Amino acid sequence: MKVIRQFLTLLPFLMITFLSCGCGQNDWQTSDKVEILNESKSPNGDYIATVFSCAGGGAAGYTYTNVNLRKKSQDFNQRDFLLGQHLWHSFSEISVNWKDLKTLKVSYRWVSDNSGHKIQNGKTVPEKDGVKVNYSLHESSQ
């Protein structure tokens, strides 16, 4: 009887927790504030490279600048980016330049010399949808 009573006491809390788990997981899709800084179409117009900044996250907050590469038929997604793997403000002075139909050059600078940011965001996407991506890191001005 005591076990049943304990379970019934916890049941409302468990139900609220379970029901709220799915809420808000994709809020960023509508609440992020995205600013397109530059867009460049491939020479044949099949692909679009977009340099953008994004701010969101509510009270916790985040801001980042990055580059998105997609086919012209795909919608822009601010969480699909080429530089790094986290939503950290780590990149600046991003520029894109098409070398040919299937080669994109991305130039960028680290926001700071923070080694933690560089370790967490050292990953880059070498190829996407058949487009090879070459990266060029600007020298630090510090």
Per-residue DSSP letters for 83-96? B-SS--S-EEEEEE
Per-residue model confidence as pLDDT tens for the chain (142 residues): 665 665 456 545 444 444 444 444 455 456 799 999 999 999 999 999 999 999 987 777 888 999 999 999 999 999 999 999 877 778 999 999 999 999 999 999 998 888 887 887 889 999 999 999 999 998 765 4
Q: Is residue 76 part of a domain?
A: yes
Number of domains in the chain: 1
Q: Which helix (H) or strand (E) holds 134?
A: strand 131-137
Range of the domain at 59: 37-137
Q: Is residue 103 part of a domain?
A: yes
Global pTM?
0.75
Q: Is residue 86 part of a domain?
A: yes
Q: Is 83 exposed, middle or buried (0-12, 13-18, 19+ CB in 10 A)?
A: buried
Please tell me the predicted confidence (pLDDT) of residue 57. Answer: 78
